Structure 1
Amino acid sequence: MKNILYTVLLVIGFSAAGTAQEINWVSLEEAVKLQKKNPKKIMMDVYTNWCGPCKMLDRNTFQNKDVAEYVNKHYYAVKFNAEGNEKINFNGREFANKGYNPANANRRNSVHDLAHYFSVRSYPTIVFLGDDSSLLAPVVGYQTPQQLELYLKLFKNNGHTVFKTQQDFQVYAEAFKPEFTN
């Protein structure tokens, strides 16, 4: 009887895990190509392999069904290792990590030129790009699903264009009513 109960719980656990929606991650080059066919903004997760808050963002926020559903519907999602060795073509330029050391692949490494280009100085940073690939804003630090929801909806609806001061954003943020679940 104990084995049957264990098997049932195991099957239920796998079934529940299989229903979680995941974000459809693409490369930056692919996102830019997709924008030409169907304009959407880009949400780029700038992370490193050694960053604990980056792993929390993956586990707690990007695995959230509301976040995944919203991002997949309204954005092209890009994951970018800011200390990785990938060569990336963006806006007519090739970006690389010239100081990359393979021995440090899972430790602190040199910073990729693309991270410098977007002025990323800490991890995680979520970089939002317009539907023409222009930089909208970097959002620095770990974000809960509800915190990220504020930015996802703000940039999707071009709400950022009406702010003239930091205080305007504060008023918006304080009035924002999140709908995403934990």
Structure 2
Amino acid sequence: MQKVKYFFILLIIPALFSSFNTPKKDKINWLSLNELEAVYNKQPKPIIIDVYTNWCGWCKVMDKETYGNDKVAAYINENYYAVKFNAESRDSAVLNGKKYGFNTTYKANDLAVYLLFGQMGYPTTVLLSAIDAQPAPLSGYLKPSELEPPLKFFGDGIYKSKNFPDYMKAFSAKW
């Protein structure tokens, strides 16, 4: 009988502790493309699009280490609308009123082809100063310190008065 008690104790206690764990929430307030259209029309601000694929290992690392960074997440939430977009999505996607479908040549959604200028590498972080602006894709895994300058360049509106090389001459990293 003692063995049965110990067995149940060993089985039930871990189950109880795991049931109290709340699922981890993303630190960044990610929006869908449909949500983006709605909020952008009410209050425009820059847009960041994380273009990823389900099989991309570096995409997962960037989610955890860069987008999971408290300073990065706080800055993006305050200054951007953030969208995650699976490049290989077969569903139609709409951005700025234009509909994009799946492109069999690229084996990717045409929205990803447009945002990445056909250079299909993942992850790619795309910055848009406005919903109708030319995309500024940053290909590959970016550490928080590597993402900080372009994020602040667009997020703080510096792109309106300076070019990026001049901005970088005086840039002082904080992350």
Query: Structure 1 length normalisation: TM-score?
Result: 0.73
Q: Deviations over 1:108-133 (max 9, x none)?
A: x8111111112152111111112343
Distance, in Å, in 2 between the alignment partners of 1:126 and 1:89 is 18
Structure 1 residue 115 corresponds to structure 2 residue 112? yes
The total of aligned residue pairs comes to 157
Give how far 1:170 is off.
Answer: 3.9
Name the residue aligned to 1:104. none
Name the residue aligned to 2:158. 159
* AA of the residue aligned to 1:172: Y
Any unmatched runs of 5+ in structure 1? 1-6, 101-108
Retained in 2: the 8 A contact 1:41–1:133?
no
Retained in 2: the 8 A contact 1:42–1:133?
no
Retained in 2: the 8 A contact 1:46–1:125?
yes
Give how far 1:155 is off.
Answer: 0.6
- Higher deviation after alignment, 131-140 or 50-59: 131-140
- Higher deviation after alignment, 124-133 or 91-100: 91-100
Structure of higher CA gyration radius? 2
Retained in 1: the 8 A contact 2:96–2:131?
no
* AA of the residue aligned to 1:146: S
Q: Deviations over 1:112-162 (max 9, x none)?
A: 111111215211111111234322411111111111111110011232344
* AA of the residue aligned to 1:156: G
Percent identity for Structure 1 against Structure 2: 39
Distance, in Å, in 2 between the alignment partners of 1:131 and 1:28 is 14
Retained in 2: the 8 A contact 1:43–1:129?
yes
3-state SS of 1:62 partner? coil
Distance, in Å, in 2 between the alignment partners of 1:135 and 1:89 is 16
Q: 1:153 to 1:32 in 2, by over 3 A?
A: same
Give how far 1:49 is off.
Answer: 1.3
Name the residue aligned to 1:133. 132
3-state SS of 2:108 partner? coil
Q: 1:136 to 1:116 in 2, by over 3 A?
A: closer
RMSD of aligned alpha carbons: 2.7
Name the residue aligned to 1:172. 167
Structure 1 residue 49 corresponds to structure 2 residue 57? no
Name the residue aligned to 1:90. 95
Distance, in Å, in 2 between the alignment partners of 1:158 and 1:50 is 34
Structure 2 counterparts to residues 49-88 of structure 1, below 5 A: 49-88=54-93
Give how far 1:78 is off.
Answer: 0.3
Distance, in Å, in 2 between the alignment partners of 1:62 and 1:115 is 20
Retained in 2: the 8 A contact 1:32–1:133?
no
Query: Structure 2 length normalisation: TM-score?
Result: 0.76
Q: 1:175 to 1:53 in 2, by over 3 A?
A: farther
Distance, in Å, in 2 between the alignment partners of 1:89 and 1:21 is 24
Give how far 1:171 is off.
Answer: 4.8
Give how far 1:93 is off.
Answer: 2.4
Retained in 2: the 8 A contact 1:21–1:65?
no
